[in-house]
C-alpha cells in the first residue's frame, strides 16, 4: 500500500558547493536507519555520490533520491549538486518538492549559489528551512551566519535553535521554542541527551527566544495582540504559528548542527516532518490550467523530472505523482509523444537499498526503468490530456568544444551516447556548426564538459578528443567592383562556353544576399540565369580573404554572351564563379567576426577587475546593475574569439563566484592587425594537419 499524501514530505537539500549537503544527506539517512554506517565524501563512501566521477571530484554532479521513514512519515529527500554547472538537477528537484532545506556553511555564510537557488525556491512558493552546517570548523560562527541570512533573505530568517559552544568545542544545541538544551556525544543514533541550558549561554538563549517570539507573533494578529499585552503564549500556539508561517513562506526557521558528527540531525528530521508541509498542506498544483490534487481517487498524472542514462538499464526515469495512483504492470499515456507506455517495475531508493514496489500514491516520488519514449519533462497520465509544467529557465551553455571520437568508426556510438546524456542534462548543447562542419558540445563550464567526456568513457566506452571550436568568421566587401568571367573549353565534339559580366556592391549589415538579373536583349538566355546565380553563391562559400563564407553582397549580372551549341548551365556556373572571385578581390574584402552580448554576474567587489578584463578582450561594457546578494550583473559586447577561454579566467578573478551567459549579437569587421593573424593561422592549419 502507498503512503497517504498527508504523511509524505518531499524535501530538496540545496545550497552552495561545499556546504555539506551530501554529508547531511548521509547523516539523515543514518539517523533514520536507512543505512548502517556514516559514509564520508572524502573517501567516496557516501550513499548519494556513487558515480566514479563524483567520487573522483568529491562533489555531487546529479540529484539523488532517497526515501525513508521518520515518525511514521515518508520522507523523499533529494540531495542536489551545489556547483552552478549542474544547476539543472537542483532546479528539477525544487520543482517537485514542497520544501527546501538550505544548507549553509557556518564559515562562509550565504554564498552566491544559495542566493540564486533561494530566488528559484521563492518563485516556486516552497517552504524553506535553513541548516547552518560545519559549526566545528575553524572560524565557524553561527551568529555571523545568521546575520548574513537576514541580510540576504530578510528578517524572517529566524533562529529556532542556537549552538552550545563554538568551533571545535560545539557540543550541542539549545532549542529556543522549548528552551531546552541537548548534548551530543559521539555520532551514534542514540548520541543525544537533554542537559540544563549552560549558565554562560542562558542570557543569550533568552535574547534569541524573544527574537523568535517577535517573528512568530507577527504571523498572527491574535497572537501579536496578546504578545504585546504581555500574555503568556502556549507552546502549542507557538508551534502552530511557526508551522503556518513556514508553510506560507513568511517564516524561515534557521537550525544548526554538524552533519559529519551526526550532531542535531535528529532535530532536523523532527523539523522536516513537523514543520514542513505535506503535498496536501501545500495545496493543488496548477499544470498549465489543469489543477492537480493529491487525491488517490482521481485520474493519474505523474511528472517525470529526471532521466538517468544507464548503458545497461537504459533510461531510468524519476517521477512525482501529482494525482491518482501509479501501479506496476499498467499502461499509461505519454502526453507529449501521444503513445502508450507499459509501466514495468517501480523502483524505490532507500539509502543503499533499491527496492521494487507495487504502487506510488499521490504526492510520492519514485522511479521506473525501460520506458521507450518517456524522458525528463514528460507527463504520464491515465488519459491523453494536454498538460504542461511551467518552463524552467535554464542558463545557456557557454563553454564550447568541438568533439570527435578518438577511434575511427565510433561516430554513431558517440552521437548516440551524447544524445542520451543530453536527455539526462538539458543544459548540454549539442549541434553541428553549419559553417565549419564541427560537432560542437557545449556546457556551463569547462568542468561541465569534462564531466560529459568522463561519462562518455565510463558509461558508454567512448573515448573522444576535444578541441576549442573554430570561430565562425565571415567575409564581406566594402566597395563595388566589376568583373568578367568566361569559361571556354574545346576538346573535340561539343565544347563548353559560358560568358558573363557581373557587378558586386556591399549591402547593409545583416541584409544577406541579393541577386539582380539586368540582362537585356537576350545576350544570356533566361534559362542560364539561374546557373549564373548558383555559380555566384558557390563562390561566396569561400571568400578571398581567408576562405570564409561571404555575406551582405548585391550581385548584378548585366552582360555576357553565349554559344547556341556549346553553352550549358555548368559552363555559365563556372564562368560566374570565376567572375565572382575576381570581383571580390577588387572590392576591398574584409574579415568579419561574431560579436556576443555577454551578461556576467560577479560579486560587487570584483566588478572593477571584471570590467578591466572585458576591456582587455576588446569588449565594450554596456552598463551594470545590482542583482541582490552582493552580486552585480555586467553587460558587455565582446568578440567571440576573445571569449573562448573566458570561463577559467572569470573563476580566477571572482574566486569561483562569477558566471556568465552569451548570445549572438551581430558581425563586425576584424581590426586589420588581427585579421592578418587569423589569415596566417588559417593558412597554417593544413600544414599542421
Regarding whether 569 and 420 lie in a shared domain, the answer is: no
Residues 174 and 155 occupy one common structural domain: yes
Domain count along the chain: 5
The residues that bridge with 666 in the sheet, in sequence order, are 595
Q: Is residue 187 part of a domain?
A: yes
Q: What is the DSSP string of 652-674?
A: HHHTT--EEEEEEEEEEEPPHHH
Same domain assignment for residues 105 and 213: yes
Same domain, 33 and 169: yes
Residue with cell 541527551: 193
CA neighbor of 425 nearest in space, from 467, 380, 392: 392
List the domain range (segments joined by +) for residue 364.
Answer: 285-381
Buried b / exposed e along 589-603 (16+ C-beta atoms within 10 A): bbbbbbbbebbbbbb
Q: Quick one: pLDDT at residue 311?
A: 64
Answer yes or no: do 142 and 222 share one domain.
Answer: yes
Let me know whether 289 and 372 are in one domain. yes
Tell which phi-psi region holds residue 530, choosing left (phi > 0), alpha (psi between -120 and 50) or beta: alpha
pLDDT score of 366: 95
pLDDT of residue 384: 82
pLDDT of residue 345: 87
Low-confidence ranges of the chain (pLDDT < 50): 686-689
Give CA–CA dist 188/192, Å, rounded: 9
Residues 138 and 235 in one domain: yes
| Domain annotation covers residue 575 | yes
Domain boundary among 447, 467, 487: 467
* Contact present, 352 and 306 (Cβ < 8 Å): no
Q: What CATH number did the domain enclosing 158 receive? A: 3.40.50.300
Q: Same domain for 462 and 403?
A: yes
* Residue in the block written with cell 502552530: 240
Residues 12 and 83 placed together within one structural domain of the fold:
yes
In a domain, 392, yes or no: no
Instruction: Output the pLDDT for position 689.
Output: 32
Task: Say how many Å lie between the first and final Cα of the chain, rounded.
Answer: 65
Nearest Cα to Cα of residue 589 among 548, 556, 555, 618:
548
Q: Cα 528 to chain center, whole Å?
A: 53
Q: DSSP H helical segments within 20-133, as ranges?
A: 21-32, 52-57, 87-95, 112-123
Is 387 within a domain?
no
- CA dist 401 and 571 (Å) reads 41
- H or E, element range at 253: strand 252-256
| Whole-number Å distance between alpha carbons of 325 and 111 | 40
Instruction: Give the pLDDT confidence score for residue 625 in this predicted structure.
Output: 86
Whether residues 168 and 299 share a domain: the answer is no
Task: Report the CATH number that the domain containing residue 623 is assigned in CATH.
Answer: 3.30.70.240
User: Is position 306 within any domain?
Assistant: yes
Domain CATH code at residue 493: 3.30.230.10
Give domain status of residue 453, yes or no: yes
Report the pLDDT value the prediction gives residue 662, as an integer from 0 to 100.
77
Q: Model's pTM, two decimal places?
A: 0.78
* Domain end position, chosen among 467, 490, 517: 467
Residue 289's pLDDT is what?
Answer: 80
d(CA 508, CA 656) in angstroms, rounded, equals: 42
Residue 617 inside a domain? The answer is yes
Check whether residue 146 and residue 181 sit in a common domain. yes
Read off the CATH number of the domain in which 312 is found.
Answer: 2.40.30.10
Whether 253 and 362 map to the same domain: the answer is: no
Cα–Cα nearest to 556, from 517, 522, 521 = 517
Domain assignment present for 394: no
Amino acid at each position: 500500500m502507498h503512503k497517504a499524501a498527508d504523511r509524505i514530505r518531499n524535501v530538496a537539500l540545496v545550497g552552495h558547493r561545499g556546504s555539506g549537503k551530501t554529508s547531511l544527506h548521509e547523516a539523515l539517512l543514518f539517523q533514520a536507519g536507512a543505512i548502517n554506517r556514516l559514509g564520508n565524501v572524502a573517501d567516496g563512501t557516501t550513499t548519494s555520490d556513487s558515480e566514479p566521477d563524483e567520487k573522483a571530484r568529491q562533489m555531487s554532479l546529479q540529484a539523488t533520491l532517497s526515501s525513508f521513514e521518520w515518525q511514521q512519515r515518508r520522507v523523499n529527500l533529494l540531495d542536489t549538486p551545489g556547483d552552478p554547472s549542474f544547476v539543472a538537477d537542483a532546479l528539477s528537484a525544487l520543482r517537485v518538492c514542497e520544501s527546501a532545506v538550505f544548507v549553509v556553511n557556518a564559515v562562509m555564510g550565504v554564498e552566491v549559489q544559495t542566493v540564486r537557488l533561494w530566488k528559484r525556491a521563492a518563485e516556486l512558493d516552497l517552504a524553506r528551512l535553513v541548516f547552518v552546517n560545519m559549526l566545528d570548523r575553524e572560524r565557524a560562527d553561527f551568529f555571523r551566519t545568521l546575520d548574513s541570512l537576514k541580510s540576504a533573505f530578510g528578517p524572517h530568517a529566524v533562529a529556532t535553535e542556537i549552538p552550545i559552544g563554538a568551533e571545535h568545542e560545539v557540543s550541542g544545541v539549545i532549542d529556543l521554542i522549548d528552551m531546552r538544551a541537548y548534548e551530543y556525544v559521539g555520532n551514534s543514533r542514540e548520541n543525544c541527551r537533554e542537559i540544563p541550558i549552560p549558565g554562560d549561554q542562558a542570557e543569550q538563549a533568552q535574547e534569541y527566544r524573544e527574537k523568535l517570539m517577535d517573528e512568530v507573533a507577527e504571523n498572527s494578529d491574535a497572537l501579536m495582540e496578546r504578545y504585546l499585552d504581555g500574555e503568556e503564549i502556549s507552546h502549542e500556539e507557538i508551534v502552530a504559528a511557526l508551522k503556518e508561517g513556514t508553510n506560507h513562506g513568511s517564516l524561515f526557521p534557521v537550525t544548526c548542527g554538524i552533519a559529519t558528527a551526526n550532531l542535531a540531525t535528529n532535530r532536523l528530521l523532527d523539523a522536516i516532518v513537523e514543520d514542513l508541509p505535506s503535498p496536501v498542506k501545500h495545496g493543488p498544483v496548477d499544470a498549465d490550467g489543469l489543477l492537480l490534487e493529491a487525491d488517490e481517487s482521481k485520474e493519474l498524472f505523474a511528472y517525470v523530472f529526471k532521466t538517468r542514462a544507464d548503458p545497461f538499464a537504459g533510461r531510468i526515469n524519476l517521477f512525482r505523482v501529482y494525482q491518482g495512483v501509479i501501479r506496476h504492470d499498467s499502461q499509461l499515456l505519454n502526453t507529449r509523444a501521444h503513445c502508450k507506455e507499459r509501466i514495468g517495475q517501480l523502483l524505490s531508493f532507500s539509502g543503499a537499498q533499491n527496492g521494487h514496489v507495487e504502487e506510488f500514491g499521490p504526492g510520492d516520488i519514485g522511479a521506473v526503468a525501460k520506458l521507450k519514449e518517456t524522458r525528463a519533462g514528460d507527463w504520464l497520465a491515465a488519459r491523453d490530456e494536454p498538460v504542461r509544467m511551467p518552463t524552467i529557465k535554464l542558463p545557456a551553455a557557454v563553454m564550447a568544444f568541438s568533439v570527435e571520437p578518438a577511434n575511427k568508426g565510433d561516430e554513431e556510438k558517440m552521437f548516440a551516447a551524447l544524445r542520451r546524456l543530453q536527455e539526462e542534462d538539458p543544459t548540454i548543447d549539442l549541434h553541428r556548426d553549419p559553417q565549419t562542419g564541427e560537432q560542437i558540445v557545449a556546457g556551463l563550464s569547462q568542468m561541465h564538459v569534462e564531466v560529459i567526456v568522463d561519462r562518455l568513457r565510463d558509461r558508454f566506452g567512448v573515448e573522444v578528443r576535444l578541441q576549442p571550436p573554430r570561430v565562425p568568421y565571415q567575409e564581406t566587401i566594402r566597395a563595388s567592383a566589376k568583373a568578367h568571367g568566361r569559361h571556354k573549353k574545346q576538346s573535340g565534339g561539343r565544347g563548353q562556353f559560358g560568358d558573363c559580366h557581373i557587378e558586386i556592391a556591399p549591402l547593409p549589415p545583416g541584409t544577406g544576399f541579393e541577386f539582380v538579373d539586368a540582362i537585356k536583349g537576350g545576350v544570356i538566355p533566361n534559362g542560364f540565369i539561374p546557373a549564373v546565380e548558383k555559380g555566384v553563391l558557390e563562390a561566396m562559400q569561400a571568400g578571398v580573404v581567408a576562405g570564409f563564407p561571404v555575406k551582405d553582397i548585391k550581385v548584378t549580372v548585366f552582360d555576357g554572351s553565349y554559344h547556341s551549341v556549346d553553352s550549358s548551365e555548368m559552363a555559365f556556373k563556372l564562368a560566374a564563379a570565376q567572375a565572382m572571385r575576381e570581383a571580390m578581390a577588387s572590392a576591398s574584402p574584409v574579415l568579419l567576426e561574431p560579436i556576443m552580448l555577454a551578461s556576467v554576474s560577479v560579486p560587487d567587489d570584483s566588478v572593477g577587475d571584471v570590467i578591466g578584463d572585458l576591456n582587455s578582450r576588446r569588449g565594450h561594457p554596456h552598463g551594470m546593475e545590482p542583482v541582490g546578494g552582493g552580486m552585480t550583473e555586467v553587460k558587455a559586447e565582446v568578440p567571440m574569439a576573445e571569449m573562448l577561454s573566458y570561463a577559467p579566467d572569470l573563476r580566477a578573478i571572482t574566486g569561483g563566484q562569477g558566471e556568465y551567459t552569451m548570445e549572438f549579437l551581430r558581425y563586425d569587421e576584424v581590426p586589420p592587425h588581427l585579421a592578418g593573424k587569423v589569415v596566417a593561422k588559417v593558412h597554417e592549419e593544413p600544414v599542421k594537419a
